[in-house]
Every structure is written in structure tokens, then in C-alpha cells.
Amino acid sequence: MVEAEVERRSRAAAPVGRGVVVYLAIVAATALLQLAAILGFASTHYFVSHSSYAFDAIAEQKATVAGQDADVLFVGSSAVATGVDPAVIAGDTGLSAFNLGVTVSAFAYDPDFLVDRYLAQNKPPRIIVFYVTPTVSLHDPTIPMYEAAGMILRHGNWREIAALFLLNPRRLLEFAHQVLVVIADSNWNEAKYQAVIGLLQAHAGFVPMDDAPGAAKAYGWAKDYTAFCAARSVQHPPDVDEIMHFRRKYTRPGTAVLIFVAPLADCYQSAG
């Protein structure tokens, strides 16, 4: 009798167990489909051209610039994007220049990414200036990855995309969450994107934060920099290995690589 009862309960439990497995499989498949949909949408030009986040437009313009053929190429984080005016360089040296600066996220994850794409679509410059800032730690895993992830998703090859997401699934989930945040915050007006692209094209990649008619107002860019100085900042020593790699990779006949280590701003010194 006991054995018969055990067998009866086992048979009754089997369908329940299979049902749980099927349910979990459906939930997992639904989640993967939703994730794929988010990534697919984020990889489109429609998404980036209607994003409420200004640096989506900046990264897009820098990753797709073609026919610029500048004599001097400046590479670095947002300190370059907002601090190096190619018009001033041209006026002082007679050499054309282009500003390839992007956010710290888009730059620090892989400093080579944008340079490789620029060189594939433009003539090699006479000088590449690798602008190193003391507040940026290259390849820092703690830096938010939204800008880098979006840029690589839209313009990277499958190996670069796999290296970014598959080797660290957490990045995938964080990026998907940030995409949803941007979607919720966007008003789907392409005028903002066009204003920023026009600004960058007019200034050879430079972002004039103090004089950005239309774009600054559209994106609400701050002109009071004291807020940035209020935060504590950690100074990092220059990444010698990365600098040497950069010089070896991009120095070639007709192209010199210069390294500029920017001084630490007074506001950061006082904040520390």
C-alpha cells in the first residue's frame, strides 16, 4: 500500500514539475525577446536621432565623420570635446584640425575605437594628439558604459559587440536599463539631434559649451561649471602602457603621435 501511494504521488507530481519547467522557459524566452528588442531599437539611427541625451548625438557624429581629412586629430574624453577648438588651432598653426573627443565612457572603454573608424573614413592626419586627463582612468570597469555600449552596438563589428556584452552580461542589462530610461525621457523630436549635429559640423567636432545657440538651450547644457567642481575627483597617473600602445599603433610615415597630459584643474584640486 505504501509503495502504491508513493508511486501515485510521483505520477501526480510529474506533470506539475514539467509545467514549472515550461513556465520558466516561457518567462526566460520572453525576457530574452524583450532584451533583443531593446538592443535592436537602440542600434537604429531612429533611436539615436530622437534621443534626449545630447552625447548620443555627439558619439554618433564622431563615429561616422567622413571626408574631414584634418591635419591634426585630437583624441580624448569630454575634456577634449569641450576644451579644444579646432578653429583656434587652425588660426595659430595654419593646420586644419578635428576634435574627436567624446564622453569619458565612450573614450575610456576603448580609446582605439573611434580612431580606427576615423582613419577608415578619412585621410591619415599629420599629427594625432592623445589627450590624457588625470581624472580619467582608461579601461576602468566602474565607469558607466552607456555611451560606449551604444556606440559599439551601432558601429562595432560582431567581435567588438561580443567582447563588450557577452564577456560581461551585467553591462548588457545596465545598457538595456539606460536605453529604457532614455526612451522614457525622450520627446521624439529630431530637432535636438539636428541642432547638435549642426553644431559639431560647424565647429569640427568641438562642443562650445559657452556659445552653443540652439543646441545648448535644447539640451539644457549648463554654463555654470561650479557644479562640476563641487564633486570630489580622484587623480590617476597616466596609463603608460596604453600611451605606448597608442604611439606604436598609430605612428606611421607621415603621421606623428603626440601625448598631452592635461593639468588638473584648480577646482578639482580644491575639491580634493
Residues 168-184 as b or e (16 or more Cβ within 10 Å = b): eeebbeebbebbeebbe
Q: How far apart are CA 49 and CA 51, in angstroms?
A: 6
The pLDDT of residue 246: 92
The contacts of residue 145 (CB under 8 Å, 6+ apart) are 105, 109, 164, 171, 174, 175
**Residue 262 pLDDT class (50, 70, 90 cuts):** confident
The pLDDT of residue 234: 58
Q: How far apart are CA 161 and CA 118, in angstroms?
A: 18
- Residue-wise pLDDT tens digits, 203-255: 999 988 765 444 445 445 544 445 555 444 556 677 788 889 999 999 999 99
Question: What element of type H or E holds 35?
Answer: helix 2-42
| Residue of higher predicted confidence among 166 and 6 | 166
Share of the chain above pLDDT 70, in %: 78
Residue 64 has pLDDT above 80, yes or no: yes
What average pLDDT does range 168-188 have in this prediction?
85
The pLDDT of residue 231: 46
At residue 151, what are phi and psi to the nearest 5 degrees? -65, -45
Q: Answer whether 0.85 is exceeded by the pTM.
A: no
Contact (CB, 8 A) for 262 and 132: yes
Which is it for the CA torsion 256, 67, 97, 260, positive or negative? negative
The pLDDT of residue 210: 64
- Identify the CA nearest to 64 among candidates 155, 144, 194, 182: 155
DSSP annotation string for 97-141: EEE----HHHHHS-THHHHHHHHHHSPPPSEEEEEE-TT--TT-T
The pLDDT of residue 72: 96
If you average pLDDT over every residue of the chain, what do you get?
80
**Candidate from 73-77, 105-109, 155-159, 198-202 with smallest mean pLDDT:** 105-109
11-15, 43-47, 70-74 — which one is most confidently predicted on average?
A: 70-74
DSSP 173: H
**Candidate from 46-50, 63-67, 132-136, 238-242 with smallest mean pLDDT:** 132-136
